[in-house]
Amino acid sequence: MSRDTACEQTGENMDQGEPITETSGLGRDPDMEYEAIARWLGAIEFGWDIERALEFALFRTYAVPSISGLLARTGKFEAEPRRRYDDTELLLSEPMEHGIDSPRGAEAVARINAIHGRFRISNDDMLYVLSTFVCEPVRWCGRYAKRPFTDDETRAWTNYYRHLGARMGIAGIPESFEAFDRLNRAYEDAHFRFAASNKRIAVASLDLLLGFYLPRPLFGLGRPVALSLMDTPLLLAMGFEPPPPGTQRLVKRAMTLRKWVLARLPRRKTPRLITARKRPSYPGGYAISELGGVPRQGAVRTPSRS
């Protein structure tokens, strides 16, 4: 059996050598072992929920005209939405699944910094985006997952993104979840407002997400369901009409039922590794150096695995 295959089947962290198991995030120190706890939360305990929460976290950033305007000007999001989604998810998952300071994690962070360095992005915008990565998974799991984050899990999750943000050169990073939450809400109150670029990027993003679950002819049925998971300030900033109240109630009841069922199922045993997933953007595997731009000649690719 190859090392890549063994890593996929056991959840072994390829750089740090520690398997991810159903109990590997339990009983750890959230101030010292935050990476192990965050990795377990994302790969075992709340895999599907955290991935959806981070999708909605990014979606929220498109309600800020300075952020959506940059994406609209580059044209890459609307031209290749799936590749941009894959690039973003992989660049964020490499440090999470392999360690921020592991060879792969460090390369991914350097790649993120190089991409951001091409553009004039304010520290305030960078800090807000970071706050969505901290806050939205905690909020989502409190509403829709089998259980909320514990206090230690929230602290570890916050510490992980504090250290990732520091590697990205972001200034003024809050020291606690509560401080991130205050910053996040204040920023949205001040900066959420409608702009044409918001809607352009939001429509492209929403169609991409719906395409993960539905054929295009059924997007009209799926769109009100997705919009029912968004709050009114976000919808207004995107230029979307709120779904009918009956649809919103139905979606909330369905999510409550899902939560009740999940709470009664056995804990997941095998990790759900995002970096091991096959992707149409990279059918032959990907190299970190090609994510978010033009591949570097001679780059070593991580093979795609089923």
**Taking the mean position of all CA atoms in its chain, how far away is CA 247?**
26
Residue 110 CA to residue 93 CA, distance in Å, equals 14
User: How much is the pLDDT for 299?
Assistant: 43
Evaluate whether 88 touches 268 at the Cβ level (below 8 Å). Answer: no
> CB–CB of 269/22 below 8 Å?
yes
What's the CA gap between 219 and 207, in Å, rounded? Answer: 7
Q: Residue 165 burial by CB count (10 A; 0-12/13-18/19+): exposed, middle or buried?
A: buried
**How many other β-carbons are positioned within 10 Å of the β-carbon of residue 60?**
24
What is the pLDDT at residue 4?
35
- Residue 68 has a pLDDT of 94
Q: What is the DSSP letter of 153?
A: H
Calculate the alpha carbon distances from 74 to 56, 70, 71, 284, 293 in Å. Answer: 21, 6, 5, 26, 12
Q: What is the pLDDT of residue 229?
A: 95
Residues 6+ apart with CB under 8 A from 15: 98, 99, 102, 103, 104, 105
Give CA separation, 277 vs 86, 155, 159, 269, 274, in Å. Answer: 10, 28, 26, 17, 5
- Chain centroid to CA 16: 22
pLDDT averaged over 10-residue windows placed end to end, the chain, 306 residues: 33 57 83 96 95 94 95 83 92 96 96 92 96 98 97 98 97 98 98 96 93 92 95 96 96 97 92 91 91 56 48
At residue 302, the pLDDT reads 58
| Calpha distance 228→280 (Å, rounded) | 29
| CA–CA dist 181, 135 (Å, integer) | 6
Place of tokens 């990732």: 164
Tell me the chain's radius of gyration from C-alpha atoms. 19
**Which stretch of DSSP H or E encloses residue 66?**
helix 65-74
Q: Which stretch of DSSP H or E encloses residue 79?
A: helix 76-79
- φ/ψ region of 271 (left if φ > 0, alpha if ψ in -120 to 50, else beta) reads beta
Does the global pTM surpass 0.95? no
Within its chain, how far is the Cα of 279 from the centroid? 16
CB of 96 closer than 8 Å to CB of 42? yes
